[in-house]
Amino acid sequence: MSDILNKTIVLVLNRHWQAIDVKSPAETFSMLVNGSATALDIKADEELRPVTWEEWMSLPVREGDYAVGTVRGGIRVPTVIVLARFDKVPKRRPKFCARAIWERDAGTCQYTGRKLRPSEGNIDHIIPRSRGGKTSWENCVLADKRVNSRKGNRLPEEVGLRLLRAPTAPKEVPMSTLIRNHYRVREWDIFIGKDERSHVEMA
């Protein structure tokens, strides 16, 4: 577990206990030491107790916990921390990726209007990359794989296709809606729910 200090496995809550960010244990320990955050001791029955750094260092490492070794022994890595003073929910534009395009286009082929299962869709470059098209919000749409295959490296109008609407970059949204539990940290489910969406291919 030598790289555990740099994995983003700690959920950050503002002082109203709203999820706003994720941090690595290295960043988290620094915040706990300087008093800008407290760690949540989360029991098996989901009882939540904010704990200061001094008390946190004395908590036992339980089975299944991440931990880091120190000269004083193992210290449990918190999975959720609460900021002491920050009370806002920052906004940010979703990161450009295939999943974000799937969400923007509501799982619908932008040429046929058909609702797609994850296995049926991929991302089409409207102006193909081979013809100078960029990989951007404005040039990428969700498409049925069969439609995308038929389109190939041509423009939509060259194969009789028409977009339902012109693609644009999504608006900024609260950070809490962008947090993904990539490491499947169970305690996060209390604050952000389970993330069960499927992978989407970037063609």
Q: What is the pLDDT of residues 159-180, one digit of tens each?
A: 999 999 999 999 998 988 889 8
Q: Where are the domains of the chain?
A: 4-90+175-192, 94-159
Q: Assign 196 a pLDDT band (cuts: 50, 70, 90).
A: very low
Q: What's the pTM value of the predicted model, to 2 decimals?
A: 0.67
Cα separation values, 114 from 92, 105, 106, 200, Å: 29, 11, 10, 16
Q: What is the CATH number of domain 94-159?
A: 1.10.30.50
- The answer, yes or no, to whether residue 200 has pLDDT greater than 90, is no
d(CA 39, CA 183): 19
What's the pLDDT score for residue 203?
52
**Residue 83: its H or E element:** strand 80-83
Q: Assign 183 a pLDDT band (cuts: 50, 70, 90).
A: confident
Average pLDDT (145-161) is 97
For residues 12 and 178, which has the higher predicted lDDT (pLDDT)? 12
- The answer, yes or no, to whether residue 59 has pLDDT greater than 50, is yes
What's the pLDDT score for residue 136?
97
Average pLDDT (87-98) is 92
What's the pLDDT score for residue 201?
54
